[in-house]
Amino acid sequence: MEQIADRKKKGLKEDYLLLVEHNPVYTIGRDGSKKDLLVSEQFLQEHEIRCYNVNRGGKITFHGPGQLVGYPILDLNNHEKDILIYLKNIEGTIIKLLDEYGIEGTRKDKNPGVWIGNNKICAIGIGINRWVTRHGFALNVNTDLKYFNNINPCGFINKGVTSIYQETGKKLVLERVMEDYLQIFSEVFSIKQIKRKGVIR
């Protein structure tokens, strides 16, 4: 992601969307700290979970199996050059995707992401440098939500998390979700062709 973003800042024309599935990892954004990590380093080592500080907005979140993580790498000079509009568009792509599966996702003022009631189903944390985007979203599809018990997700102590599986009782094939999302993303951002990477395990 970082390498592609750096190449785009140097003039790479193509837009990229990396759709990946991570091994268990906690990431802490620019606004976060380890105070929202509720387990010890020993616990992380014993359960083979990594923890990194990263240069996106937001606080702590989890990435892992059964979760669709998307990293759009776009030059906003070629789209709408507005960070808030970009963020809303990313939220919009997830809301459209959830609608395909019969789930009504919503926004919350001042709390980026997509929500089902008081539970977050998709965390969004972006980074933008010289109008080139990096980082993105993490949508809980079939994610084991127990991992979120080890953190204050996005710094919240009074809000929960959910997943497509928890909302519908249906376990989806992640590769199919990727294909559905790619179509929606292409439409929302008016992109005809996107360079892609497959599932990273």
For 119-160, the pLDDT digits (tens) are 999 999 999 999 999 999 999 999 999 999 998 887 777 789
Ordered by where they begin, the domains of the chain are 2-197 (3.30.930.10)
Q: Are 132 and 74 in contact (CB under 8 A)?
A: yes
pLDDT in tens, 7-66: 888 888 888 899 999 999 999 998 888 899 999 999 999 999 999 999 888 889 999 999
* Sequence-separated (6 or more) residues with CB below 8 Å from residue 8: 16, 73, 74, 75, 132
β pairing state of 160-161 and 16-20: unpaired
pTM: 0.91
Amino acid 144 reads: D
As annotated, the active-site residues are 154
Which H/E stretch holds residue 149?
Answer: none
